[in-house]
Amino acid sequence: MLNAYYVDMLGHKSVIRELSEYATERKRAVGEENVYDFSLGNPSVPAPDSFNEACIRLMKEEDSISLHGYSPSVGIYKVRKQVAESLERRFGIPYGPEHIFPTAGAAGAIAHALRAVTTPGDEVLVFAPYFPEYGPYVTGTGAKLVIAPARMEDFQLNLEAAEELISERTAAVLINSPNNPSGVVYTGETLEKLAGLLTRKSAEYGHEIFLVADEPYREIAFDNTPVPYTAKYYKNTLTCYSFSKSLSIPGERIGYVAVHPEAEGADILIQVFAQISRGIGHNCPSSLIMRAMGETVDDTSDLAVYERNMNLLYDCFTSLGFTVPRPGGTFYIMPKALEEDSVAFCRKALKYDLVFVPADGFGAPGYFRIAYCVTTEMVERAIPVIERFVREEYGK
Amino acid sequence: MLNAYYVDMLGHKSVIRELSEYATERKRAVGEENVYDFSLGNPSVPAPDSFNEACIRLMKEEDSISLHGYSPSVGIYKVRKQVAESLERRFGIPYGPEHIFPTAGAAGAIAHALRAVTTPGDEVLVFAPYFPEYGPYVTGTGAKLVIAPARMEDFQLNLEAAEELISERTAAVLINSPNNPSGVVYTGETLEKLAGLLTRKSAEYGHEIFLVADEPYREIAFDNTPVPYTAKYYKNTLTCYSFSKSLSIPGERIGYVAVHPEAEGADILIQVFAQISRGIGHNCPSSLIMRAMGETVDDTSDLAVYERNMNLLYDCFTSLGFTVPRPGGTFYIMPKALEEDSVAFCRKALKYDLVFVPADGFGAPGYFRIAYCVTTEMVERAIPVIERFVREEYGK
């Protein structure tokens, strides 16, 4: 018999996917260039040449058996060292290879981090707006997802709500900055307050509450303002990273968990992750991709396009009178819809072949998400269409 | 707090890993060439040139964004078609792309297959001797591992035991042929009887019992005798494959689940697998590796070395009077130790720098496993050492 839980999931297709499928159909009907598809977070710039070059060099120079052979269950030592040194250089935290665990992207990183610090029945707190996949990520571990409602005035962390929601059963808090869908970067002040709260609650309940920091957009930061590094504020932090966005290689499934050297269990967590891998059938990312990532750990694609696109869209929406938090990073922007029902708003936009995603599913009702990982040329062509849509539908 | 279940697993290091670590230390002390390390199942032949060539060609010819971009959650269509066509060509089952789900090796394949057809609390039956990782693979899904004891006379499936052990709670049966650790290939007659048993029990309990066929060694077959294709005997078969051995790329983590087109739920199982991926943080194997696998789906490394090594070792052990089932495939052979306690036997062998693995942990007490994925030259040098060990320790 098929597992009813998973079969049931088939009935709940994500809104993003439905919209994206609709967009694909429309493209077939009216031509790719006539559909303004802002639905999907798929990087739109090529990987840096250095990444492919590293892959090719490894295949030409390395012995096949050692290059393509099994990796140790905790990942390849040299790569873990390359990541640790890069993090120490950039953020001043003395990571060693013993704190780095390579994974299949941030999804794999979060799967390991959450399982390591929760026990089925525990609670994991997330802050709206949040990436909807956190639902299956958390429930897949057997833990319970608890959602702090969004702080609508600036989409920073709603710590007042967290104060109420953190309980004895809270094992971990999962945050995402720069944030998908809002684009907002949590400030140092916000993270400091969060750290204070978690320290106090950990003492109150007699167990450490872990902070799982999901930071795949860390390298896409705007206005020359770097993204505060969460682990600097709270030692029980497991940093989950993906190279999907920085290197534009989401299909290659490569990322890591970095365990703060002073975290509870820092001496064994990497080994615990390796045990978790056995149970979920994920034994290390591809060895070739892992090695090439190690060689290019500090490189990035040309990410400037995202800031250009953000500025164009931010100016467009503000000049049209939208309420819109200014993104500090990512390739998302999240304006407030012009009517309470953002689904109705997005449906009207579809008539203009503008594909926006209602942010209700992200925990920001009344808002919508635009993924601007597209060409600047496409953004420029979309702006007059957006203006026409707003004028014709909302008289602005 | 760390998850106690996983932390506890740290205390139970696998015997194979301990022995392999001992061997590594010994190699440092006495020189690599003086340790006969038969502990690990890591392929010893290079990948076929065509695999690296396919990777390099893809990187040179394909657009970066489409090559390295997200794969669909069910895997890349073209690759699924390549696999389906290869399977149909070879085994005459009309697979379509809609029955193929690419995974991170056989471990990933089994993780998906088992979760799809079991519900926590169900039972999964395996047959000794079996790959010890089946323990965490099965218990990681929340199901219970039930072990049919080995049929010691020929190490075929112990169907008499299965008859007793299959119950209303049995959701799936997991078999592995060619078998790790015995090297035995299940005959067509055995598989036919198994199919009959499962059909009868399915009817008796009113639900289909799935057969999960773990077949990573399918391409390593000896004596010009092909390995019977399990799915031909039973329609509710989920075939789990890995290219780790056929292409000698275990570090690249690439394999698939093939759903028999007439299996219960064949029309939705691939979609169910995609839902499972969300919960375990495994979203498709590397896109580059997946594509290169598709291009080389029918290629293999030069696997002849394994048969040469098997013949040398089989002749050596039989001439020394060992009881030893003749392997039909894999790169393992499993002789019976010369004393009841195979751990003591393997410990004595260590004095001669012969690293064998007791098969007790595989469910074949009194036997030991030799992984001969090593050079033939090493096997040839080991034989006189084996002879001396047996003469000096057992007077043979």
B167–chain A Cβ distance below 8 A for any pair = no
Confidence at A237, pLDDT banded by 50, 70, 90: very high
Mutate which: A124, A209, A282, A331, vs B, most B CBs within 10 A: A282
DSSP B109-137: HHHHHHHHH--TT-EEEEESS--TTHHHH
- Does residue B189 surpass a pLDDT of 90? yes
Question: What's residue B336's pLDDT?
Answer: 98
pLDDT digits (tens, 9 = 90+) for A240-254: 999 999 999 999 999
Smallest CA–CA separation between B185 and chain A, in Å? 25
Give the C-alpha separation, B41 to B131, whole Å. Answer: 11
Nearest residue of chain A to residue B275 (CA atoms): A6
Confidence at B329, pLDDT banded by 50, 70, 90: very high
pTM for the structure as a whole: 0.96
Mean pLDDT of B273-299: 93
Residue A272 CA neighbour count, 13 Å, CB half: 26
Rounded to a whole number, what is the distance in angstroms from the first to the last CA of chain B?
Answer: 56
- Beta carbons within 10 angstroms of residue B352's beta carbon: 16
- Label the pairing between strands B255-259 and B237-242: antiparallel
Question: What's residue B19's pLDDT?
Answer: 82
Nearest residue of chain A to residue B47 (CA atoms): A64
A376–chain B Cβ distance below 8 A for any pair = no
Question: What's residue A282's pLDDT?
Answer: 78
pLDDT digits (tens, 9 = 90+) for B113-159: 999 999 999 999 999 999 999 999 999 999 999 999 999 999 999 99
pLDDT digits (tens, 9 = 90+) for B303-324: 999 999 999 999 999 999 999 9
Q: What is the ipTM of this complex?
A: 0.95
Confidence at B279, pLDDT banded by 50, 70, 90: confident
Q: For residue A304, what are the contacts with CB-CB under 8 A and spacing of at least 6?
A: none
Give the C-alpha separation, B383 to B46, whole Å. Answer: 24
Question: What's residue A64's pLDDT?
Answer: 96
B50 in Cβ contact with B299 (< 8 Å):
yes
Please give the C-alpha separations between residue B128 and each of A5, A106, A136, A145, in angstroms, as whole numbers: 31, 37, 35, 40
DSSP A264-304: TTTTTHHHHHHHHHHHHT---S-HHHHHHHHHTTT----TH
Confidence at A195, pLDDT banded by 50, 70, 90: very high
Smallest CA–CA separation between B148 and chain A, in Å? 21
Taking only residues 172 to 231 of chain A, the set having a beta carbon closer than 8 angstroms to any beta carbon of chain B reads 207-208
Give the C-alpha separation, B305 to B225, whole Å. Answer: 16
Set of chain A residues whose Cβ sits within 8 Å of the Cβ of B71 = 251
How many residues in total does chain B contain? 396
User: Does A69 contact B43 at a Cβ distance shorter than 8 Å?
Assistant: yes
Set of chain B residues whose Cβ sits within 8 Å of the Cβ of A102 = none
B59–chain A Cβ distance below 8 A for any pair = yes
User: Does A284 contact B251 at a Cβ distance shorter than 8 Å?
Assistant: yes
User: Does B279 contact A137 at a Cβ distance shorter than 8 Å?
Assistant: yes
Give the C-alpha separation, A86 to A96, whole Å. Answer: 10
Question: What's residue B41's pLDDT?
Answer: 85
Phi/psi class of residue A121: alpha, beta or left (left: φ > 0; alpha: ψ in -120 to 50)? left
Set of chain B residues whose Cβ sits within 8 Å of the Cβ of A134 = none
Question: What's residue B318's pLDDT?
Answer: 98
Mean pLDDT of A64-69: 95
Please tell me what DSSP assigns to residue B61. H
Taking only residues 245 to 264 of chain B, the set having a beta carbon closer than 8 angstroms to any beta carbon of chain A reads 248-254, 264
A151 three-class SS:
coil
Closest by Cα among A296, A396, A393 to A344: A393
Quote the tokens at residue A13: 């297709």
- Does residue A142 surpass a pLDDT of 90? yes
Mean pLDDT of A1-26: 83
Question: What's residue B42's pLDDT?
Answer: 87
Taking only residues 120 to 149 of chain A, the set having a beta carbon closer than 8 angstroms to any beta carbon of chain B reads 133, 136-137, 139-140
Question: What's residue A14's pLDDT?
Answer: 72
Taking only residues 258 to 297 of chain A, the set having a beta carbon closer than 8 angstroms to any beta carbon of chain B reads 264-265, 268-269, 271-272, 275-276, 278-289
Mean pLDDT of B97-102: 98
Mutate which: A14, A45, A64, A299, vs B, most B CBs within 10 A: A64
User: Does B281 contact A112 at a Cβ distance shorter than 8 Å?
Assistant: yes
CB-neighbour burial class of residue B386 (10 A; exposed 0-12, middle 13-18, buried 19+):
buried
Give the C-alpha separation, A297 to A103, whole Å. Answer: 14
Mean pLDDT of B329-355: 96
A178 in Cβ contact with A245 (< 8 Å):
no
Confidence at A256, pLDDT banded by 50, 70, 90: very high
Confidence at A17, pLDDT banded by 50, 70, 90: confident
User: Does A250 contact B68 at a Cβ distance shorter than 8 Å?
Assistant: yes
B14 three-class SS:
coil
Confidence at B164, pLDDT banded by 50, 70, 90: very high
Q: In DSSP terms, which residues pair with B329 in a beta bridge?
A: B221
User: Does B10 contact A271 at a Cβ distance shorter than 8 Å?
Assistant: yes
Q: For residue A310, what are the contacts with CB-CB under 8 A and spacing of at least 6?
A: A183, A222, A327, A331, A333, A372
Q: Return mean pLDDT, chain B.
A: 95
Smallest CA–CA separation between B205 and chain A, in Å? 11
